[in-house]
Amino acid sequence: MSYFVCTNCEHESDIFGRGGGEKMAADLNIPFFGRIPIYQPIREGSDTGVPLMVSEPESPAARAFMTAAERVAAQVSIASYNRPTIPLTVVR
Ligand SMILES: [Zn+2]
């Protein structure tokens, strides 16, 4: 969780500061996938079994999850493309 989103006005508050995840990712030379907010409907949906992507798919928090998922998918694709292959030798 990265920042707090008010459910009344959608104001975002950086209650933990800002940029720490990005800096850590850069320091570790790993991809940064995104900032997921603290947003009450995420907890409510977790309790009721209705994911935010179903209950509020156009909300900023849902878009944050989608952005992170897209970045993970991109990295999986890159890793899959770059994986070493085992050379095959045809034996007759
Ligand atoms: Zn507010």
Q: Which residues surround ligand 1, an ion (CB under 5 A)?
A: 6, 8-9, 11
Residue closest to 36 by CA, chosen among 59, 76, 77, 75: 59
Residues 1-29 have a mean pLDDT of: 91
Distance 24 CA to ligand 1 centre (A): 30
For residue 68, how far is its CA from the centre of ligand 1 (angstroms)?
25
pLDDT at 81 exceeding the cut of 90: no
State the average pLDDT over residues 17-35. Answer: 94
Give the phi and the psi of residue 11 in degrees, each rounded to 5: -65, 140
How much is the CA Rg of the chain, to the nearest whole Å? 19
Average pLDDT in the chain: 91
- Structure-token pair, residue 92: 């007759």
pLDDT bin (cut points 50, 70, 90) of residue 55 is very high
Task: Quote the pTM value.
Answer: 0.76
The mean per-residue pLDDT over the stretch 24-33 comes to 95
62 Cβ contact list (under 8 Å, min separation 6): 52, 53, 56
- Note the pLDDT of residue 79: 87
Helix (H, G, I), strand (E, B) or coil at 58: coil
Cα 1 to middle of ligand 1, angstroms: 18
